[in-house]
Amino acid sequence: MTRSEELNYVKDLARKYMEMASGEEMHMRRKRWRDLYSLKKPDRPPIVCLDADWGQVTKEDMVCSDSVYRSLEATFKSRLCIFEMGDDTVFYPYIVVRHPWDRNILYWSAMWNWGVEFPGNHCKETGSVSLFIDPPIKDEKDLAKIHIPDAVEAIRLEKQKLIEQKRVYDDIFQGIIPVRIVFTYCPVLGHLASLMMGLETLMIKMAQEPAFVHALMKILQEAELQFLDQFDQARSWTDESNCHGNGPNMFPESVKTTPADVPCQVGDLWGRTESQEFQLASPAMTEEFLVTYQKPIMERFKYTEYGCCEDLTRKLDAVMKIRNLRAIVNSPWTDLKTMADRCRDQYVIIWRQPFSEIMSAKDEHDIRADVERGLQITRGCFRSVFCRDVNWNEVDNPPRRIRTWIHEAKRAAEMYAD
C-alpha cells in the first residue's frame, strides 16, 4: 500500500475501535467492574484472560510498513481481537500517550537520579542477566549516597516528548479518536529495596543487620511520599490515571468526589502495590520490614489493591492493617479458602486461577470444573477471575483453549453470581 493508503487503513481501524469502545457491551463491562470495586454485587463476577489475542495477531497480518502506522495497526487489531474473544477486558474510547516509567519500573528506578547506579550484569555461571549481582548499597555508609530524585523535574523532561507524540497522533486521526496524555504510578518499595541492596543481601541483612535494613526502608518510604506530593503539586494525575496501571486492573474510571474543575490528587485515586520480593520472608519480617513502610504510602490513595504473584496466605493479617485496603490479589500460590474466609464481603478478591489447571485441562469440562471450584469457595465474596501467566507455547491450539476458557468461565460466573 502507499503511505496514504496506510493512513486511511489505520483511520478505519480507529473508527472500528471507537465503535467498540463506545458501545453498549463496553458500558456493561465497565459497570460490572465499577460495581465490583464499589463492593456492590455485579450481575456476575468479571472474568479476564490476559493475552487473549495470543497468536492471533502476527507479523504476517500487518499490512503497514510505516513504523508509526504499523504500531497503531498492531494496537487496534490486538484490542479488536481481544474484544471479539468475549471476556470482560475494558477498553476506553481514546488512545493513551504514557510516561515511560508507567510501563517499565526499571526505567525510572535506573534513569532517575538516585545518586547511585543500578548496573545490569551478566551472571558468569549461567550467562543470564541479573540486576542484583553488584547492588549499589553494600553497607550503612553507602546510604549517604542515596539522593531522592526530583520527580517533577523528571516529568518536565518527558513532557515535551509526550506533547509531540500526542500531536503526531492528533494529526493522524484528525478527531476520529481522542488522544490523552495519562500518568499513572505504583509505589514499589520492595522492588526499590531489592535494586538498592540486592535481593539475597536484603534477605540476609533483615536477620543479621535489621537496623541497616530499617534505615534503607525509611529512606525509600520518604522518597515515595515525596513523589506523591510532587505528583500532586505538578497536577500529574487525571481521571484516567486509575485505568492504565499494571494490568489489567480494571479500576473504575475515577473515585474522585471533588468538583470536575478541581485537579485530581492522589487521594482521588486507586493505589496498587505488592510484596513479591519478600515472598521468602516470614509473615513477621514482611510486616516489619515492608508492610509497615508501605502503609503510610498506600493510605495516601483513596483505595489500595495489594498483591501480585506472591503467596499471601499467612500474611493477610499484616496486609489488612492497611486502612484503605479494598482489593487483594489471590495468586496461584495463595490459599483461596483462607482468602475467602478472611475477605468475605469486606474486600474484593482478584483470583488468579492456577495456570497449571488451565494448561493441563483435558477438555472444557476440566476448565469449567476448576473455575466452578474457585467460585464455590468464594461464594458470598466480591471476586473476579483472571487467566494469566499461562505459557501458551506449551498449549495445543492456544486460541481454541483461550476461547474455551472464556466461554466456560463466563458460564461458571453466571451460575455462581452470588
Q: Read off the pLDDT of residues 16-39 as tens digits, 9 standing for 90 and up.
A: 999 999 999 999 999 999 999 999
Of 244, 108, 136, give the one whose Cα is nearest residue 194.
136
Phi, psi angle pair for 272, to nearest 5°: -135, 135
At residue 103, the pLDDT reads 44
Domain ranges of the chain: 3-415
The model's pLDDT over 48-102, given as tens digits with 9 standing for 90+, comes to 999 999 999 999 999 999 999 999 999 999 999 999 999 999 999 999 998 765 4
- At 250, the pLDDT band (50, 70, 90 cuts) reads low
Answer whether residue 110 shows pLDDT above 90. no
**Which of the pair, 255 or 327, is modelled with greater confidence?**
327
User: 324 near 296, Cβ under 8 Å?
Assistant: no
At residue 149, the pLDDT reads 87
At residue 104, the pLDDT reads 46
The model's pLDDT over 133-168, given as tens digits with 9 standing for 90+, comes to 678 899 999 999 999 988 877 777 778 889 999 999
Mean pLDDT taken over the chain: 90
Answer whether residue 121 shows pLDDT above 80. no
- At 307, the pLDDT band (50, 70, 90 cuts) reads very high
Query: What is the pTM assigned to this prediction?
Result: 0.93
At residue 255, the pLDDT reads 80
Answer whether residue 353 shows pLDDT above 90. yes
Phi, psi angle pair for 121, to nearest 5°: -125, 155
At residue 88, the pLDDT reads 95
In angstroms, rounded to a whole number, what is the distance separating the alpha carbons of residues 277 and 289? Answer: 12
Contacts of 43 (CB under 8 A, 6+ apart): 32, 35, 417
Which strands sit side by side in the sheet containing 348-352, from one edge to the other? 47-49, 382-387, 348-352, 325-330, 303-306, 270-273
Cβ of 94: how many Cβ atoms within 10 Å? 15
State how far Cα 63 lies from the chain centre.
Answer: 31
What is the 3-class SS of the chain, one letter each residue? Answer: CCHHHHHHHHHHHHHHHHHHHCCHHHHHHHHHHHHHHCCCCCCCCCEEECCCCCCCCCHHHCCCCCHHHHHHHHHHHHHHHHHHHCCCCCCCCCEEEECHHHHCHHHHHHHCCCCCCCCCEECCCCCCEECCCCCCCCCHHHHHHCCCCCHHHHHHHHHHHHHHHHHHHHHHHCCCCCEEEECCCCCCHHHHHHHHHCHHHHHHHHHHCHHHHHHHHHHHHHHHHHHHHHHHHCCCCCHHHHCCCCCCCCCCCCCCCCCCCCCCCHHHCEEEECCHHHCCCCHHHHHHHHHHHHHHHHCCCCEEEECCCCCCCCCHHHHCCCCCEEEEEECCCCCHHHHHHHHCCCCEEEEECCHHHHHHCCCHHHHHHHHHHHHHHCCCCEEEEEECCCCHHHCCCHHHHHHHHHHHHHHHHHHCCC
Of 195, 304, 192, 299, give the one whose Cα is nearest residue 242.
304
**Which of the pair, 361 or 252, is modelled with greater confidence?**
361
- At 107, the pLDDT band (50, 70, 90 cuts) reads very low
User: 303 near 271, Cβ under 8 Å?
Assistant: yes
Q: Range with the lowest mean pLDDT among 29-33, 55-59, 127-131, 220-224?
A: 127-131
CATH architecture of 3-415: Alpha-Beta Barrel (3.20)
